[in-house]
Chain A
């Protein structure tokens, strides 16, 4: 269920690092608990983010969740498609529901995060 190549945070963000670019989104567990996503607040290109700094928020009908950056870096791309189709976060959270891409300052930040197996175990523990 959770892509092997990704790394995961305790706050249910995922990050995929390819070279110096990190793609960030929220996990299937997160989207399920949020409910139908109605709006994603995206940061401006060029924004510099530290680890665990707030990227933006995701809104469902009855809740708002902050999204935290799993790694540090500078925003180089945001998923503008989420403006017209925020439901992509629900339908394909690990794929087309990606939120932004960062130019990573320290790719090694990701090593400190959970891998797919560890995250699955973590989530299973929460749902118990």
Chain B
């Protein structure tokens, strides 16, 4: 395939105007010692039909879609209304550039403005940015933001937060003189407030907790917030399962300084890890330290309402090494899909979807918990994920489930070796009762 739009005559005329006799002459400025003197060792060009066949073959090697799966752990399967794929596929949404020229980008800008509004409504915060890469990177940016605000060297992060979020934070702070300490969890699966009280001090820049956490347990944000603020530390609430915001009290209601997380549940396919959607929102007094692009409302010369990218002096293209973040390209099209999803579900749809998650997960926890030898590992309340302790090695159990076409809960041993044989099960509105019952029957069989 070629996407060149020049004919033979075109090329001739163009070279003539330039005053060159060949395309090669245009590369005269390349020193001979660096020129590549062979063809690139890549497969020959494929026309469209062959390309499609090749990809269909690769896609077919993914057998995962054929399984009934109960995986969650930061990536969730939810129903996505047909309008989301339909509308987001428009060329006017896929192919524009970043809206730096607002007069020709009002579509993108207004949608981002609506997205920022929705994130503020969902998180109960004052200001939101236009997106970050994903929940893990958003958590890292929140930590860096806290450190810029109070210059304290220590961050306390709940061990019950997603392992990849914690790993990403570690990587981001590794060269910046900030150290991270993990706060353990109690038998209820929540951050241990006594341990937090012991570790928090005047060196603590921020406390980060995720809710629902990596075990699916809903944290006591009120208690964590009070402890953090009691020491003038910032309170960062991370959310990996954004669907929970449709029902659970918002981080803002508990005084969070920053609410951040993953918006994949809002209309994005699991797509083997990306592209996803990091969201971040904060209190208005922290506005100037919020990273990422922000859209604002204004008027044009004729008094018409319009939208622009604003407060750009926080960003790298102006402040360079003193910027709030190095982020440039973000996840705008993903934010657009999330906006479509949220506006289509609407207030009632979002709450109903979230409620169904709770009821189905509770039903599943009930039927699975009644299997001999299976124990509910944590006592804390959950949204749509829960941890079961199994009487056998999880990997072995999952292998047997897999033979019957089911992918069971995530084996937590690689992430939390201290837990023993535990698996994290996720149940959302997409799972039917029949499917949950099937899982229960097969799990029981696998444990015999």
B28 at the interface (CB under 8 A from A): no
- Could you tell me which residues of chain A, from 8 to 66, have a CB within 8 Å of some CB in chain B? 38-39, 59-64
* Residues from chain A with Cβ under 8 Å of B288 in the complex: 39
| Complex Cα–Cα for A39 and B322 (A) | 16
B312 at the interface (CB under 8 A from A): yes
Residue-wise, chain B 48-62 has the 8 Å CB interface mask toward A (1 for contact) of 000000000000000
A89 to chain B, nearest CB (A): 15
- Could you tell me which residues of chain B, from 307 to 328, have a CB within 8 Å of some CB in chain A? 312-313, 318-319, 322
- Could you tell me which residues of chain A, from 75 to 89, have a CB within 8 Å of some CB in chain B? none
B100 to chain A, nearest CB (A): 11
| Complex Cα–Cα for A64 and B319 (A) | 7
| Complex Cα–Cα for A10 and B319 (A) | 22
- Could you tell me which residues of chain B, from 271 to 293, have a CB within 8 Å of some CB in chain A? 288
| Complex Cα–Cα for A59 and B313 (A) | 7
| Complex Cα–Cα for A78 and B288 (A) | 19
B287 to chain A, nearest CB (A): 10
Most A CB contacts (10 A, CB to CB) among B288, B318, B322 go to B318
Closest to A63 in B: B318
| Complex Cα–Cα for A61 and B314 (A) | 11
B312 to chain A, nearest CB (A): 7
A43 to chain B, nearest CB (A): 15
A33 to chain B, nearest CB (A): 15
* Residues from chain B with Cβ under 8 Å of A60 in the complex: 313
The residues of B with any CB-CB pair to A shorter than 8 Å are 288, 312-313, 318-319, 322
13 extra interface residue pairs, beta carbon distance < 8 Å, beyond A64-B319, A64-B322:
A38-B313, A39-B288, A39-B313, A59-B313, A61-B312, A61-B313, A62-B312, A62-B313, A62-B318, A63-B313, A63-B318, A64-B313, A64-B318
A-B contacts, 16 of them at CB < 8 A, read A38-B313, A39-B288, A39-B313, A59-B313, A60-B313, A61-B312, A61-B313, A62-B312, A62-B313, A62-B318, A63-B313, A63-B318, A64-B313, A64-B318, A64-B319, A64-B322
